[in-house]
Amino acid sequence: MTAMAQALAEFRTHFGGEPEGVWEAPGRVNLIGEHTDYNGGLVLPIALPQRTYAAVRRRRDDLVQLASAGMPLTKPVHLADIAPGQPADWARYPAGVLWALAEAGYAVGGVDVAFASDVPVGAGLSSSAAIEGAMGAAASDLFGLGLLAGDAGRAKLAAVCQRAENHIAGAPTGGMDQAAALRSQAEHALYLDCSDGSVTHVPFRLSGPGLALLVIDTRAEHSNSAGEYGARRADCERACERLGIASLREVSAADLPTALARLGDERLVKRVRHVVTETERVRLAVQALNADDFAELGRLFIDSHASMRDDYEISCEELDVAVLAVLEAGALGARMTGGGFGGSAIGLVYAGAVAAAQECVRTAFAAKGFAEPAFIVAEAGGPGGRTRVPRGA
């Protein structure tokens, strides 16, 4: 059964009758530009074909009833009762979107929602933004908010979803994931400037040059990754204070040596060096993509991984082993992607070598006694929105 059909089935089981429609939003994989979003830097994610579906029907009252295939049952919650830490379980992500919409002044009401997804959860592919985006897209259409019609509305909805994640789910993430879920274009990477929210769509088709983007879900999740994420943000804020600037984006690649000399703290030097060089690598990656220079893109992936491993210190053994294994299998480049401390890595590999690269990673993982990795060959999918449901589905 497809995830869309599963959302419909789940809806009929839990709520009876038919939903008013189905909405969807994709997971994403970031090509390059890690931990730059909350520093006002550049990022370059693609939306995935994998997505989260929401079958939704409005209610006459203000109750929010949620169900999700494969997830524990959750208690209904009144709109007015949604607050930081409430609900406490997975429902805080979609409930948070309704909260953030109401807080932004949009009139929303109670809903029955059944979710189903083929985005791996907790794999660094942003299942959280996918569920937020699907909820947000549905609310926009059903409550007549008109936020899906153009990029300006979609940018507002992405910001609402980020507020839900930050304030109700309690995850201090930047805005990349929600932008990828709602503002992407199929067959393009989303070149997002987090200093002003502006986007450019960069053609991303790997089949022409005979390449593929292999995503390796390491299945590793290290404890305290959320705490480490917060610690990195705090380091960046401290560095800004010392430099007397509002955001690390103000440090250009040319200014970097001077800025580093003024920090006088080895850890902050490493953090700032990663953030500034990473934003520069995003700029270069876009140039490489526009020039069909995939060898250069691969080199940038390799440099990016080294920077995250050595300077930002967000990699882990599973990610390093995955990256090394695909490079040994002949990949043009590879890097960890997402927040770090587990989750996924990506490799830019020849299409004919995908199976061999997977085998190389599997063997390396088995030798280390790691969990069996999972793989996705990623293509650039379209943004979230209303799902066309086939007749009779």
Residues involved in catalysis:
177
- Shortest reach from residue 128's CB to ligand ADP, in Å: 3
> What residues form DSSP beta bridges with 213?
348, 378
- At which residue do the structure tokens 């497809």 appear? 2
Q: Which token pair is 130?
A: 């996918």
> Rounded to a whole number, what is the distance in angstroms from the first to the last CA of the chain?
11
In order, the DSSP letters of 276-315 are HHHHHHHHHHHHHHHTT-HHHHHHHHHHHHHHHHHTS---
- Shortest reach from residue 387's CB to Mg ion, in Å: 21
Complex with ligand ADP: residue 356 or 374, whichever CB lies closer: 374
Residue 52 near ligand ADP by CB under 6 A: yes
Fill in the per-residue mask, 362 to 391: x = in contact with ligand ADP (CB under 6 A), - = not in contact.
------------------------------
From the list 2, 113, 116, the residue with the least C-alpha distance to 53 is 116
Q: What is the dihedral of CA 100, 105, 106, 108, to 10 degrees?
A: 70
Q: Which residues of this protein are in contact with Mg ion, per CB under 5 A?
A: 126, 128
Residues contacting 324, CB < 8 A, separation 6+: 364
Contact predicate 113/98, CB 8 Å: no
- Shortest reach from residue 124's CB to ligand ADP, in Å: 5
- Shortest reach from residue 234's CB to Mg ion, in Å: 19
Complex with ligand ADP: residue 68 or 140, whichever CB lies closer: 68
Backbone angles phi, psi at 208, to 5 degrees: -55, -60
> What residues form DSSP beta bridges with 45?
30
| Residues 118-147 interacting with ligand ADP (rule: CB under 6 A) | 121-128, 131
**Piece in contact with ligand ADP (CB under 6 A), picked from 33-41, 95-103, 115-123, 200-208:** 115-123
**DSSP tag of 31:** S
Complex with ligand ADP: residue 122 or 210, whichever CB lies closer: 122
From the list 215, 160, 212, 163, the residue with the least C-alpha distance to 183 is 160
From the list 334, 315, 338, the residue with the least C-alpha distance to 326 is 334
239 binds, among Mg ion, ligand ADP, none (CB under 5 to 8 A by kind): none
| Residues 189-228 interacting with ligand ADP (rule: CB under 6 A) | none
Distance, CA of 179 to CA of 192 (rounded, Å): 8
Contact predicate 320/313, CB 8 Å: no
140 binds, among Mg ion, ligand ADP, none (CB under 5 to 8 A by kind): none
- Shortest reach from residue 88's CB to ligand ADP, in Å: 10
Packed helices 127-142 and 92-103: angle between N→C axes, nearest 10 degrees? 50
Complex with ligand ADP: residue 29 or 243, whichever CB lies closer: 29
Complex with ligand ADP: residue 47 or 171, whichever CB lies closer: 171
Q: State the amino acid at position 114 in one-letter form.
A: A
- Shortest reach from residue 84's CB to Mg ion, in Å: 17
162 binds, among Mg ion, ligand ADP, none (CB under 5 to 8 A by kind): none
Complex with ligand ADP: residue 233 or 238, whichever CB lies closer: 233
Fill in the per-residue mask, 68 to 97: x = in contact with ligand ADP (CB under 6 A), - = not in contact.
x--x------------------x--x----
Complex with Mg ion: residue 136 or 298, whichever CB lies closer: 136
122 binds, among ligand ADP, Mg ion, none (CB under 5 to 8 A by kind): ligand ADP
Fill in the per-residue mask, 150 to 189: x = in contact with ligand ADP (CB under 6 A), - = not in contact.
---------------------x------------------
Distance, CA of 218 to CA of 161 (rounded, Å): 27
Count of chain residues binding ligand ADP (CB under 6 A): 17
Distance, CA of 130 to CA of 146 (rounded, Å): 19
Residue 115 near ligand ADP by CB under 6 A: yes
Distance, CA of 214 to CA of 194 (rounded, Å): 26
Q: Which residues bind to ligand ADP, rule: CB under 6 A?
A: 52, 68, 71, 90, 93, 115, 117, 121-128, 131, 171
